[in-house]
Each structure stands twice: as C-alpha cells, then as structure tokens.
Structure 1
C-alpha cells in the first residue's frame, strides 16, 4: 500500500467513528505498526486535519476536513478512469470533453505514485459499434434537467405519430443503443419515457416546473419498481 492510500484509509477509519478510537485498533485495521500510525496522524495534522487525542487515549477526527491534494485509492482511480473513458466514447462531444478535463484535473492534483497508476490504466473502453442517434440533443436535455425547466419537444413515436409536448425532464438514461428521457408529460398528465433519437425539435422554456426534480425521480422509481440502490 502506498503512503497516499494509507493516509486515505486512515481518514476513512477516523470518519467512521464518532467517538475516540485507540491507536491499537487503528493500526490493526490498517495493518500497520503503531510507529507508522503516529507518523501518519502527524502528517494529517500538519495538513490541517483536526485530529484530537493522544497515544493510550484514542483519536477522533472533527468533520469538515478534505485531504489536500485530492486523494483516491488505486481502485477508485481505476473506476473513475474507466467511467470517464466510457463517457468519452459513448456520449456527445461536450460531455466527452468534460470527462477528459475531469481526468486531467485529477491527474494534476494527486500524488505522483497515484498519477502513475492513472497514466498506466489497463482498463480500456473499445469504440461503440453503434452511435445512438440524437446525441446533439443531449447537452440541451442535461441543461433542462439541471435547471428544472420545462421543455418543449416535437416527438414522433414508434407508430410514426407526431406530437408537440411540454415535459418536465428529470432523468436521462444511457443504454447501449438508445438514450431515454424520463419526464412528466403535461399532455398526458403522467410520467413518460421518450427516446431521444425520436425527438426532432426541442426548446428549453423560461418557466421552471413546479415540482422538485428529486420528487419526480422518487415517484418514477416507485412507479417502475426500481430500488434506490440500482441508481446509485
């Protein structure tokens, strides 16, 4: 385990305990010696962590401290890098660019040993066999969801019936061959799903919809029988 990973794990151990935890227990959880533990606690304190306590009594971390620089384990970096690469290959150019920027920012602030792990990633994402249609709509849809604004869409269903709708978008689903918009439809007065590739015109409205997005998402989960853990 690198020193960066060890400091992160120590922070996580301290955060799990609301009351003082002894150095013996901490060292056992981290599989390190007491001498190393005391040195790591001193390093965290020097970085600004409010860790109270002393050997023989126990230690407790006061909330509100974030490790500078940003700290991740090797496994967490693998997950972040793989996710960012998937976004770069499977979404619109705007989000792909943002994913690459995010990786660059992470690489700029993590310690050198973790940066090497990020640069030498062995988890790769191949090119998509099919690029779903409607990718150019995605930035507008994400903006409408973020701002919780009503959205005007012109839509053609699978039976080729065309309709104009005012919807309240609250979620966007990325599937292998299609992108799906989940929204409350004013015309149907119900929750509906819209294939993004079948939206042929759309405009964000000035008016915000009257229900909070999270409330619509909870209602949708209940209607579809989707546990919360599936979306986390």
Structure 2
C-alpha cells in the first residue's frame, strides 16, 4: 500500500466521500460491490455495522468482517468473518431476480448520461489506451435497481459529455467525486451537492459537459461518531488510496 498522502489530517475529501456514500446506503438492504474499490468498501463496512445493510463483495463474501479493510476487493481477507459465501453466477441470479438494491461500479470514463467506459480511450480501431474491460457490468447495470459510481479524480477527460466507448449503461443514478455529488435526474447527471470549499466554477471547469446544478447544498463532513466508525473498520485508511492529492479540510 502507498503511504497516506495526508497522514496528519483527520478529515480529507476521502472521508467526506466515504461518509456521503455511507449515509446514502442507510436506506438500502442488499448491495453488491465490484473489484478495486477500497473507498466504497469502507463505506459499505460502515453501513453494514451501523445500518444492517447486507454487503456482497466480489470476493464472494457476505458481510465480511476483516480486521482492516484491504486495498483490493480481490483480497482473501474480505472473507474473514463472513456470514456466508457466494459465487459469481449466484450474484447474477440475485440481480436478475431484483434482489440487488445497489451495485458499485467504476469507470475510466463516466459521461453526462451515466454511461461507463472501461474499454478504450480514443477510437476502437486506433485506441490511445486500452483499459481492463467491464467485467460483468454490461449485464448487471440493467438488472440492479441502482448503480453508483465514484472517482478519486475529477477532470474533463474522465468525465466527458460522451464516453469514447460504451462498456456499460443503465441505472447509474449516483456519482461522487472529489468535488461534488451527482444524481441522475431527467436522464442526465446533475450536481446535487458541492463538497466543502468547492465552487460551481471549479466543477464547470473540470467537467466535460455543461453542468446542471440542481439546487446543490454542501456535503456535510463526517461527525465524530462517523469518523470513529470509519477508523474502526479502516484503521489503515485505505479509503485514501488512489488520490493524487489530499488536502486537509477545515473542521
């Protein structure tokens, strides 16, 4: 694991994003999580312990209770303390039966319509970059009630008006970035909350489409009880991995 980019800070945007996700999860029942997503892992652990949310990890664990959150969701440590194990076909079957409330997805690109690109940057015939592929997202996004995405950066080339290639689409209703929270309304992702210290102009400059601000409020930083639970499930602060720069927030 890389070193904590802001070791002396109690609250950075990573904590703000994690708390925002955990709060939204409080009303959900069954949540499936894909690979390589340490920040949602921590939010899901918080929701599982506090709000009785069922956490299905791509590792095959149901409500795993590792002593510390691993950086990768492929880690066998996620199976520690699990109440049950499941297979990938069982996860697809559950989604097809309407049994998954939320699925967490990642995207090298996410566009204004909530389409994901995990395939290529540039054209299919002459790609600039080849990504790892979408796994099961192409099938699952249309089956789950909601898909939620997150990014550890916010810039126009990763949030374009239209993705270079559509790997998956369907039911993406929420996106959180280091600048703000988006929700899909009337078919497009709109800003519904700005993180502390972030201006509308900054979001406009760093987003690849003409952003609609849907009466946004301010994302509330985690309170003491949320921070305590966050530290309990993630003492190594893997939630901060993947961020190029983390500035402490004013409390």
Q: TM-score, normalised by structure 1?
A: 0.25
Q: TM-score, normalised by structure 2?
A: 0.23
- Whose radius of gyration is greater, 1 or 2? 1
Q: Larger relative CO (CA 8 A, sep 6+): 1 or 2?
A: 2
